[in-house]
Amino acid sequence: MTVLLVEGITDVNLVRYIYAQLDERFDFYDFIAPTRGSKSKVITFRNKKHPNFQIINLKGQDNLLFTLKEILKPDENNIAKIAIISDADKDFEASKQSVMKAIEKSTIDSNKFSTFLTPNNSELGNLETLLLSSLDIAKIPQLQCFQEYKKCLTNSIEEIEKRAIDKHEVEAYIKFSAKPRNRNQAQFSFIDTNGDTGLWDLSREEFSPIIKFVQSVFI
């Protein structure tokens, strides 16, 4: 079995989006969402075509150790690969060490693991950093407008969290796109009921590191 752990639902859907373009046999909807209303501490997306593939939404990095010890450790003999995508946030080395400590405490064979820190496994940031870095802000009207709003926020509010601003900038891009999908959350911005939204271009070099990582997990 191959298991990929991610921090949240937007990460899940980005991975599904990348996965669907790795091979013509793969599809975004191969990974089946759990029954609506599930109150599980974490959420497992199982693959209907390839039962050995799973994506687990940790619903927060704090649930990493719990998931490794309580869910994956008992089934370790049936697991060949465990991949983890986590945010680098403000301190790359601290974030990396946090993941490595969880792996060590799980007592699962460390050779089964591979890890990736968003945005690109080398710089500070998170998923929103990656998404924004792929956009040509100068050519997107709503993001040009947003720059003034962002400047006002950062100048007016002390210690404002950059991640919160980045999240709202991504939402502004989605909500006011040329072909609005009546969505304003990143989790819905890859695929909707009409198919590919066209909002994200995976051919952009900014996506290359995470695409290579996902490919190494599922191919």
| pLDDT given at position 206 | 98
| pLDDT given at position 28 | 97
Q: Which tokens go with 19?
A: 């996965």
Q: What is the mean pLDDT of residues 196-202?
A: 94
pLDDT in tens, 107-119: 999 999 999 999 9
Domain 1-126+205-219 sits in CATH at 3.40.50
Tell me the C-alpha distance between 6 and 31, whole Å: 14
| pLDDT given at position 180 | 57
Task: Evaluate whether 12 touches 55 at the Cβ level (below 8 Å).
Answer: yes
Going by their DSSP bridges, the two strands 2-6 and 81-87 should be labelled as parallel
Does pLDDT of 193 surpass 90? no
Tell me the C-alpha distance between 33 and 57, whole Å: 10
| pLDDT given at position 178 | 67
Q: Considering the chain, tell me which residue range(s) the CATH 3.40.50 domain(s) occupy.
A: 1-126+205-219
pLDDT in tens, 71-117: 999 999 999 999 999 999 999 999 999 999 999 999 999 999 999 99
What does pLDDT average to over the chain?
Answer: 93
pTM of the model: 0.93
Tell me the C-alpha distance between 54 and 44, whole Å: 7
Does pLDDT of 176 surpass 60? yes
Across 1-5, 38-42, 137-141, 155-159, least confident range: 38-42
Strand segments, DSSP code E, in 42-92 are: 43-47, 53-57, 81-87
pLDDT in tens, 10-55: 999 999 999 999 999 999 999 998 876 566 889 999 999 999 999 9
Q: Which tokens go with 122?
A: 């080398």
Does pLDDT of 181 surpass 70? no
**Helical (H) or strand (E) element with 148:** helix 141-156
Q: Which tokens go with 119?
A: 């945005």
Q: Which tokens go with 153?
A: 């926020």
